[in-house]
Chains A and B, each alone.
Chain A
Amino acid sequence: MKRHEFYAFVAPSVIIMVTLMIVPLFFTIYLSFTAYTYGQIPRFMGLDNYINALQTPRFWNSIRFTLLYMGVAIPIQILIGFIMALLLYKVKKLQGLMISTALLPNVVTPVVGTLIFSWLFQDKWGFYSWLLSLVGIKINFLASVSGARALLILHAIWSATPFPFLVLYAGLQGISREQFESAQLDGANWLQQVFYIVIPNLAPLFVFIAMINIMDAYRVFDPVYVMTRGGPGSATESIVFYNYMVAFSQLRLGYGSAISILTILGILVLLVPFLVRTYRQQTRG
């Protein structure tokens, strides 16, 4: 393909990405150094917004909650997803049904998924709350700090476990049968096969899943907004939810922009191990 043809073909796509993502991002960086409310002229403030953010307990609180949310939910999502993929790989039936039903919580409109999941945990008349009460456990999930946090994490496990399950199940199909057969001839039991064949073979997929789940959980917003509105108090405010409140409830767009930039720096830090790994692989290959 000739150069001028290339430019003509990519132009619409590149123009829309530049005008609606790259330019706005630079504008966000600019606004983060100003005091700005919609309708006024931005007033330059230097690093004040950043200093202000770093001194605000509610900001740190949102970071702590987001890290807790990720730290608890993601390992469980990957573990359950992996176990279910291994089990489904072992059996001969159910494949189509398991995959369809697993897709539902994962691709359904997140606001709807959150609503229908949280109803089951409503105090007293929620179906799961009622089941729990039968065995003597009575938790008002939305009223207590730990209950609200637990509910958000349970929702994350429900909605995002299917992703590792589907990816790892697809990955299992790609491992050659001979590897398992020769291991069985050597007398390896199932657990040994999992550790010496499956896990090494699927290692790149685990990395991929962890990266995607980290990116998605880091920007969690819909479940927080729908289920808890960040409450009780600000106990379940995620970073993006806090950012939203500051920018669009209080209309402090300058301060909100600074939070956005800090959020971007945060995800870059979290992704460093993955970038380093990719770079090492590139240079080794």
Chain B
Amino acid sequence: MTTSHSRFLIGRRLLSVLVYAVLLAWMLVNVTPFLWTVTTSFKEVKDAFAIPPVLIFKPTLAAWQALWKEAPFGKFFVNSVIVTTGTVAVSLSIGCLAGYALARYRGKIGFVILIVALLFRSLPRISFLLPAFAFARMTGLYDTHILLILVYVAINQPFTIWMLRSFFAEIPIEIEEAAMVDGCSRLEAFIKVVMPLMLPGVVTTGIFSMLLAYNEFLIPAILAASRAATLPVGIASIGTEDLKYWTITAAGSVWIALPVVVVVLFFQRYIIRGLTFGAVKG
């Protein structure tokens, strides 16, 4: 009895060691490209191409200095900041208005708007980009920040209004009714009473607007190839030409990934909520 019991325990311990081993192995798979790139960005070119790869090397800031000197990286960065900030601001302001109305209005038209938005969410983006490209060329909006912001806002609206609507739906209607009885208009009640309760919804939706605008490549590659080009377009243009730029591209990659990593670490809960959003609603 005791032997079989202890054998059972040893088996269990072995099993749990194995489970941890598998999980940690997968974690390594997930992070290795990141760790490797960070170390590469501090290597000299000869160390970066060493075979076998070197783990211990004399760190240098050469690639980081070159990144800001050689490539017009600063310009790409400024463009990304402008376009991302603009997209988040516009997306959230018009998205909150619409999301709130869709949560409160009981008419059929609200349902139609939501379903059409959902359909458009599933279409490949390139299908709206052809006319957008022709239109942008004709109007002179081609390669401008404002064009990118408008297109991102539009593409992001379906997700934004669905998400914000679900957050607004959780806020009891009595709160704003009380404010309106006290003499507030609908808009005043919305701004002064409802919005302060919406912080989690605004943060969650804002993070996803931010990620879209910051990460997108196809759209700026087509609509803003030079003056308004954002970081992904920039890194792709220096990334593939010449292998001697490899350490510089690595530094650029680290720089681009850094804000995303920070957001992941600090806002994990909100990102998970956004990612699993459709699943929970069925």
The chain A residues found within 8 Å of chain B, CB to CB, are 1, 3, 5-6, 9-10, 12-14, 16-17, 19-25, 27-28, 31, 36, 38-39, 80, 83-84, 87-88, 90-91, 94, 96-105, 107-113, 115-117, 119-120, 124-125, 127, 130, 158, 162-163, 166-167, 170-171, 204-205, 208-209, 212, 215, 218-219, 221-222, 225-226, 239-240, 243-244, 247-248, 253, 256-257, 260-261, 263-264, 267, 271
Contact = CB atoms under 8 A, between A and B. Distances in A.
10 contacts: A6-B107, A9-B98, A9-B101, A31-B130, A36-B134, A38-B137, A84-B23, A100-B264, A112-B257, A225-B236
Interface of B: 16, 19-20, 22-24, 26-27, 29-34, 36-37, 40, 48-53, 93-95, 97-98, 100-102, 104-107, 109-110, 113, 116-117, 120, 122-135, 137, 150-151, 153-155, 157-158, 161, 186, 211, 214-215, 217-218, 221-222, 231-232, 235-236, 239-240, 246, 249-250, 253, 256-257, 260-261, 263-265, 268, 271-272, 275-276, 278-280, 282
A5 B156 CA distance: 23
Given A12-B94, A21-B155, A167-B276, A99 B268 contact: yes
B189 to A, nearest CB: 11
A98 B218 contact: no
Given A5-B186, A17-B120, A248-B222, A100 B268 contact: yes
In the complex, the 8 A-B pairs of residues with the closest C-beta atoms, listed nearest first = A9-B101, A20-B154, A13-B98, A27-B131, A12-B94, A6-B105, A219-B124, A24-B131
A107 B123 CA distance: 20
Contacts of B282: 204
Contact of A98 (B27, B49, B106, B116): B27
A262 to B, nearest CB: 10
A166 B117 contact: no
Nearest to B110: A6
The dominant DSSP class at the A interface is helix
Contact of A13 (B27, B31, B157): B157
B279 A1 contact: no
Contact of B130 (A9, A17, A208, A253): A253
Contacts of B135: 24
A115 B113 contact: no
B150 A10 contact: no
B279 A171 contact: yes
Contact of B265 (A100, A102, A125): A100
Contacts of B49: 125
Contacts of B211: 107
A124 B51 contact: yes
A25 B137 CA distance: 17
Contacts of A267: 122-124
Nearest to B232: A111
Most buried by A among B153, B218, B231, B265: B218
A263 B272 contact: no
A183 B228 CA distance: 60
Contacts of A117: 33
A110 B134 contact: no
A185 B16 CA distance: 22
B107 A98 contact: no
B124 A110 contact: no
Given A16-B153, A112-B253, A119-B40, 10 more contacts: A9-B100, A13-B94, A14-B98, A17-B120, A90-B19, A100-B265, A115-B239, A219-B125, A244-B126, A263-B124
